[in-house]
Chain A
Amino acid sequence: GAVVSQHPSWVICKSGTSVKIECRSLDFQATTMFWYRQFPKQSLMLMATSNEGSKATYEQGVEKDKFLINHASLTLSTLTVTSAHPEDSSFYICSASRNALEAFFGQGTRLTVV
């Protein structure tokens, strides 16, 4: 099966700093990647859709200036949480689509802002 690698698996940062999370499709080209956020005991909430070579499409209520998404190549998308605050602490998961039928998830990143 296809492999999506997400890095780092967990990160602790100080309030006010920025954190970058990488999502790579290792054995296929992903024209579209998705970023999700999941709070404890809740389901995945789509944050944004990342398309290679173009600006990301953000869901309503997600601040695009705070959650910067870059999809510079067909195998890499990055999510940067800028000026992180404790309320940004969450589990962030990316997924990549190879076609209309399949979505493969990264391992997820546990972000804790202290």
Chain B
Amino acid sequence: GQNIDQPTEMTATEGAIVQINCTYQTSGFNGLFWYQQHAGEAPTFLSYNVLDGLEEKGRFSSFLSRSKGYSYLLLKELQMKDSASYLCAVNNAGNMLTFGGGTRLMVKP
């Protein structure tokens, strides 16, 4: 079966750093995606990891360890607009994305 776990909610302070973890157990693996979703809007693409290691893109970085079935999304220099849900999704066999439950991040002043 497919199982993707991430924390339900997190709170952080503006300007700080926050790490959102995701663990997965899926049949087949063609990469792991992170999406940002503001309330009432469709998800927007943040990052994609298919090989182990860290991918950095501006204030956002994503890490993957395939042997551990583990990824994290790191957000630096948090801004109020970063308050959103962050979805971890695994691309398994057949181009299908399986989503985790999402992590609602609240950034406080």
Contact = CB atoms under 8 A, between A and B. Distances in A.
Most buried by A among B30, B43, B104: B43
A42 B95 contact: no
Interface in A83-114: 91, 93, 95, 97, 99-101, 103-108, 110
How many chain A residues sit at the interface, stated as a range, is: 20 to 34
Contacts, number: 52
Nearest to A45: B99
Interface of B, helix, strand, loop or mixed by DSSP: mixed
B43 A101 contact: no
Contact of A93 (B42, B50, B100): B42
Nearest to A91: B40
A81 to B, nearest CB: 18
Interface of A: 6, 32, 34, 41-46, 49, 91, 93, 95, 97, 99-101, 103-108, 110
Closest 9 CB pairs of A and B: A43-B102, A108-B42, A105-B42, A97-B95, A43-B101, A44-B99, A43-B99, A107-B42, A100-B95
